[in-house]
């Protein structure tokens, strides 16, 4: 897989940072964005230390115009990785009231996790459509979904729904764009040790380090997989659980603590 020029959102921490580091090497150019200038600068320094040319931009993926300008100015791109994300769950309900998510948290999760991916993918597609094919491929685009996309869980309703939308959108469009030379991949990963999971107060089966996740993502994207899944058994379990009656799924998951707000 050619990686002369790679663009990564959410590069200031977590999976985005790990992917930026995995792609950093002499002769490669990285376009990195994030919302935290200090953490983004730290990623930039680490990638430069590996020999890469690095160009950073502090911005919010929910800002459509800013994303359009940034990606449009980046030049030819071999790989675009949409990694910016936000998690959160419902607060504990008072007696007689529903356990629910804060309204602003819901809107922000959808703005970052769904609109942010759209704001990344559409300009990337527009840029790649003008590029020449190399081994039949003009460019590759991957976005971080989640195993949470596979099952409706009351512990993180907006998070799971936003990731499900990302997964379905990319997978559904993948065939048409592949024929045009643009490969789309949805990454349905399980628990990864990042700032987003450090506040979770429940068991996280199969949790792995971010650098290991980055290796699996790049391997799957290079192989042309429409959906990159790991660990497979956790995803398979989530898919199987979603076939159960809703009342059973709720009984199995309702006691799980809600996710505290975290993001990249």
Return the active site residues: 159
| Cα 53 to Cα 176: distance, rounded to the nearest angstrom | 33
Measure the CA angle with vertex 128, ends 40 and 110; round to 5°.
Answer: 55
Residue with structure tokens 């502090």? 58
Phi/psi of residue 239, each to 5°? -65, -40
Collapsed DSSP state (helix, strand, coil) of residue 29:
strand
Supply the DSSP symbol for 114.
I
Is residue 165 packed enough to be buried (19+ CB in 10 Å), middle (13-18) or exposed (0-12)? middle
């Amino acid at each position: 897989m050619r990686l002369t020029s790679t663009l990564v959102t959410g590069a200031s921490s977590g999976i985005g940072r790990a992917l930026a580091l995995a792609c950093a090497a002499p002769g490669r150019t990285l376009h990195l964005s994030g919302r935290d200038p200090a953490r983004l600068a730290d990623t930039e320094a680490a990638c430069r230390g590996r020999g890469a040319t690095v160009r950073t931009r502090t911005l919010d993926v929910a800002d459509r115009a800013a994303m359009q300008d940034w990606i449009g100015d980046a030049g030819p791109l071999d790989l675009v990785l949409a990694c910016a994300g936000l998690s959160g769950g419902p607060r504990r309900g008072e007696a007689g009231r529903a356990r629910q998510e804060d309204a602003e948290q819901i809107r922000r999760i959808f703005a970052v996790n769904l609109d942010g991916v759209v704001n990344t993918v559409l300009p990337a597609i527009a840029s790649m459509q003008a590029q020449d094919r190399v081994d039949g491929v003009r460019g590759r685009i991957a976005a971080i979904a989640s195993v949470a996309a596979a099952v409706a869980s009351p512990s993180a309703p907006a998070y799971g729904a936003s990731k499900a939308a990302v997964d379905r959108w990319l997978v559904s469009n993948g065939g048409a764009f592949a024929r045009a030379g643009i490969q789309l991949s949805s990454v349905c990963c399980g628990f990864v040790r990042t700032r987003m999971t450090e506040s979770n107060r429940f068991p996280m089966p199969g949790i792995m380090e971010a650098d290991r996740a980055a290796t699996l993502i790049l391997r799957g994207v290079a192989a042309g997989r429409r959906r990159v899944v790991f660990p497979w058994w956790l995803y398979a379990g989530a898919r199987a659980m979603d076939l159960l009656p809703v009342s059973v799924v709720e009984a199995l998951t309702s006691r799980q603590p809600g996710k505290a707000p975290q993001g990249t």
